[in-house]
Structure 1
Amino acid sequence: MNLLNPDPGTIFWTALTFVFLLFILKKLAWGPILQALEERERKIKESLEKADAAQKETEAAMAKQQEIMDSAKREAQELMAKSRSTAESTKEEILKKAQDEASKMLEKAKREIDSQREKAIEEIRNEAADLSIAIASKLIGKSLSRDDHREIIDESLDKMVEAN
């Protein structure tokens, strides 16, 4: 038997054995192998679908998170603007109250000054009247009535006030 020149009977039996084994493998092993391959393909396909679904969920969650962040940022900006507005209006209100109070104090001081000035003028008039009565009585030798002196003093003081 030469290995390079095989015997025709050996070729026949080898081919027959090969076909027989092929038939047995097809009946017994080919189905399970194909089934295993199909099962593996199905699992890979499911895994890819799950990965796509998970990626879509992640993208949706990230979009929602971004929306929440944007909303929080807008709310914070609105709150800051409202706080600034409130602070500005409070500042203006306080300034207005302070100005009103200062104006009231100024008016009160002016009224008090005017009142004190009127009192001082009245005191000066009374003293001037008493003094002029005493001087006139000594000079004239007779006494003028208090009303006469009051009239003379009032006229003199009115002229002085008009001159100033």
Structure 2
Amino acid sequence: MGLLQPEPGLLIWMTLAFAVVFILLARFGFPVIRKSVERRREYIDSSLAAAGEAQKKLDDLQLEMEAVRMDAERQKSEILRSAVQTREQLIAEARKKAGEEGEKIIAAAKASARLESDAIIRDARHQVALLSIAVSERLLREKLSDTRSQTALAERLLEEIDPEKK
């Protein structure tokens, strides 16, 4: 007989050998293989769970990072707004101080000019008074060169001082 038609004795021995190998495998091999496959499945499940947790943590971190970025952006704009406001306030204060200083300088210059003008006017009046006295003195000397004109002037002055004595 050939390979395609085995003899009944060979078929029995092949079945017996297969049964022994199957029993041995079922008794000793399959539990080990099944435990190994189960451990591998648990490892894969735990790895998938860890990957899911890692993905969730990554998503949470991305949300937190976005929140931090938005907060930083808000703080940046707030700081810039504050800096602009402070700059404008400093410029306004500087302008106000410059205006006040300018007004003080102008007031001081006006006061100084007024004082100088008053001093010049006083000096001019003093000079005019001195000139008037000098001119009057010369006129009186010329007019009062004789005694008769001196007496007439004295009488006229007395009459002006005391008009009731007439």
Shorter-chain-normalised TM-score: which range? 0.7 to 0.9
| Local SS of the residue matching 1:6 | coil
Report the 3-state secondary structure (helix = DSSP H, G, I; strand = E; otherwise coil) of the residue aligned with 2:2: coil
1:29 corresponding residue in structure 2: 29
DSSP-derived class of the 1:5 partner = coil
Give the greater-gyration-radius structure (CA): 2
Q: CA deviation at 1:88?
A: 2.1
Find the counterpart in structure 2 of residue 83 from structure 1. 83
Q: Which amino acid aligns with 2:42?
A: R
TM-score w.r.t. length of structure 1: 0.72
Tell me the residue number matched to 1:129. 129
C-alpha distance after superposition, 1:25-72 (max 9, x if no partner)? 222212221221111111111111111112222232233233323323
For residues 138 and 73 of structure 2, what CA distance do their matches in structure 1 show? Answer: 95
Gaps of 5+ in 2: 145-166
| 2:157 alignment counterpart | none
Question: Residue 107 of structure 1: CA displacement?
Answer: 1.0
Evaluate the alpha carbon distance shift between residue 63 and residue 130 of structure 1 in structure 2; reply closer, same or farther with a 3 A threshold: same
Say which structure, 1 or 2, has more relative contact order (CA 8 Å, 6+ apart).
1
Superposition deviation, residue 137 in structure 1: 4.8
- Identical pairs, percent: 29
Within a 5 Å distance, the mapping from 1:11-160 to structure 2 comes to 11-139=11-139, 141=143
Q: Residue type matched to 2:45 in 1? A: K
Identify the residue that residue 164 of structure 2 maps to in structure 1: none
Paired residues, number = 142
Structure 1 residues 75-130: Cα deviation after superposition (integer angstroms, max 9, x where no partner): 23322322232222122212211211110111111122112212212221222233
